[in-house]
Structure 1
Amino acid sequence: MDAVKNIKPTESELEILGILWEKGPSTVRDVHEILEQRKEAGYTTTLKLMQIMHDKGLLSRDTSSKTHIYQALVSQEKTQQQLLNKMIDTVFNGSASQLVMQALGHHRSSPEELDAIRRYLSDMEKKQE
């Protein structure tokens, strides 16, 4: 599992991981049907991508039945954190505050989201006292 820590999924791999994180263990056909609703995708392309992801250690494959079942081996939270850290380092010169200001300045947040952000910041301030 440590080798997976440094793997950076491609955009297409992230789409497949997203489906597996949401749906759970699935066949290639299951994943392909969802992908097809979002964009034009060939079944063999989906199959090949999932085989590559298995070889990279991103997915496990259960071959005990005729239809293979794939499952994500990397967690959504760890993958998001890894990609976010890379973005902060490379795009925002290591400044998380720049990322937050950019996101809030160019994305319309609901009142509920803004309240959650305020609570989060308040909690962070309390922990630092």
Structure 2
Amino acid sequence: MARPKASELTERELELMHVFWDQGPQTAVDARDALANSGRDLAYTTVATLIKILVEKKFLKQTGTQRPFVYQPLRSFDEVSGRLVTDMVKRVFGGSREELLVRLLDGKKLSAKERQVLKDILDEGGKQ
């Protein structure tokens, strides 16, 4: 399997980024503990390696010069998730957002709240 491009995140990297997005700046130990508390128990060295990779890919930055180092996100959840969805629409649905919506809604009954959110998005011209 080909190694992901520097601009892409692996599943584990994305999982770790969620810790930083949800809880803010963290040390590697804090991030490892947060993952363990959510049922994903990884070795400290694995988390430290993932953090190093995320710093190299410019998804995280190290703050301070004294140990323990604290890391914080350089890219927001909205930016990263938006890019992932846009890439998926291009690769899977040939750029067709309509086809994505058809697949998402095919055979599914929307709740009143979901219908209202969808209506609001459409009324705003797609801006959210």
Q: Same fold (TM over 0.5)?
A: yes
Residue of structure 2 equivalent to 1:3: none
When the two structures are superposed, what TM-score results if normalisation uses the length of structure 2?
0.83
Report the residue type matching 2:57 in the other structure.
K
Report the residue type matching 2:14 in the other structure.
L
In structure 1, the gaps of 5 or more residues are: 1-5
Higher helix share: 1
Bigger mean CA offset, 23-32 vs 56-65: 56-65
Residue of structure 2 equivalent to 1:8: 8
Query: Is it true that 1:39 corresponds to 2:37 in the alignment?
Result: no
In structure 2, the gaps of 5 or more residues are: 1-5
Q: Deviations over 1:51-91 (max 9, x none)?
A: 11112211101243321100111121111111111100000
How far apart in 1 are the matches of 2:49 and 2:80? 21
When the two structures are superposed, what TM-score results if normalisation uses the length of structure 1?
0.82
CA RMSD, Structure 1 to Structure 2 (Å): 2.1
How far apart in 2 are the matches of 1:44 and 1:86? 31
Report the residue type matching 1:97 in the other structure.
E
Bigger mean CA offset, 55-64 vs 80-89: 55-64
Q: Deviations over 1:88-128 (max 9, x none)?
A: 00001110011112122366643212211112112228x9x
Residue of structure 1 equivalent to 2:3: none
- Secondary structure of the 1:60 match is strand
- Secondary structure of the 1:71 match is strand
Report how far residue 7 of structure 1 moved.
0.6
Please tell me whether the aligned partners of residues 16 and 31 of structure 2 are also in contact (alpha carbons under 8 angstroms): yes
- Structure scoring higher RCO (CA < 8 A, sep ≥ 6) equals 1
- Identity value in percent: 28
Residue of structure 2 equivalent to 1:19: 19
Are residues 102 and 52 of structure 1, via their aligned partners in 2, closer, same or farther at CA, if it must alter by over 3 Å? same
